[in-house]
Structure 1
């Protein structure tokens, strides 16, 4: 009988111990708890609404779903450039409007020759905004009260906003919150609203 010289390997059978099963279940439990907690936090301070119309293109598109942060303005005030959700004149029977904050409380806002002026000075804005064809009520200077904001749609000439007599300046109490995340129309992904 010939013997083979060299190394021989024996494969040890792995056993699933109670400790390993326990670790797997604990890990799964913590993952589930973290996801549940994140879901509860997002939806307790958030609100999902749909963009209606083309007034905020290209930032937001018609039918695009947007998650609104309802908590942020309980601690802070809206700032210039924020996209806010509000009910026009506080009307609960209306849908939420999404517009960009242009004028802040105490400021004087006027639209002259298609451009926005704040306190008599031209507002420095992105060149992608169209020249405003209709100044509406902002043709004459508007002095915002201590709780009022002046808002415009990004698609300036196809927007019903603070220039419209039936909307006018937005009272802080009618603001639901700030646009937080948007669901992309072509992909099922979320992105920050800018």
Structure 2
């Protein structure tokens, strides 16, 4: 009986640790919409890291999850970081330039519309969806405040045949 109780307590402790890791380090998000297509699709499930948010370690190319009033209450948006604070973003003739250097984006689907020339403010990031023709992003919303960011997408876990790890 003692061994049974010991095994049961160990299983409970392991479950608590797993739940705590998922709560404090990672959390799942269901992707809604096609603004990140072809990288992420409607219905995909991703794991998001809270740690990167606390450390404010965002880099160009990261995929982030954030809350914004444009998404509606209790919904999150998923977009790619294009520029961080202090960087100049210029969009002209469908091309994106960061600090006057052409940004090479092999993940983009569709035409990048809009003519923009802006310097990203302090503690803000400029984000866009990979499906440029079907995304509401910093081109319309302006740069996103870092306090709105909930985390960085680390891994696509569903559908199972399309599991992917992101940097």
* TM-score bracket for the superposition, by shorter chain length: 0.7 to 0.9
Shift of 1:77: 2.6
1:47-88 per-position Cα deviation (integer Å, ceiling 9, x unaligned): 332211111122211022222222322123311111111122
Q: Flag structure 2 segments of 5+ consecutive residues without an equivalent.
A: none
1:86-132 per-position Cα deviation (integer Å, ceiling 9, x unaligned): 12258872621000001110001011111110011101322x42353
The separation in 2 between residues aligned to 1:28 and 1:151, in whole angstroms, is 47
Which structure has more strand as a fraction of its residues? 2
1:74-93 alignment runs, 5 A limit: 74-88=54-68, 93=73
Name the counterpart of 1:146: 122
CA RMSD of aligned residues (A): 2.8
In the alignment, is residue 183 of structure 1 matched against residue 162 of structure 2? no
CA contact (8 A) 1:88 1:94 kept: no
1:35-74 alignment runs, 5 A limit: 35-74=15-54
User: How many residues are paired up?
Assistant: 167
CA contact (8 A) 1:114 1:131 kept: no
1:3-55 per-position Cα deviation (integer Å, ceiling 9, x unaligned): xxxxxxxxxxxxxxx9xx84x76566445533431222112333332211111
Name the counterpart of 1:115: 95
The separation in 1 between residues aligned to 2:55 and 2:112, in whole angstroms, is 36
Q: Which moved more, 1:66-75 or 1:108-117?
A: 66-75
Name the counterpart of 1:10: none
Q: Flag structure 1 segments of 5+ consecutive residues without an equivalent.
A: 1-17
Structure 1 segments (4+ residues) deviating >4 Å: 24-29, 89-92, 188-191
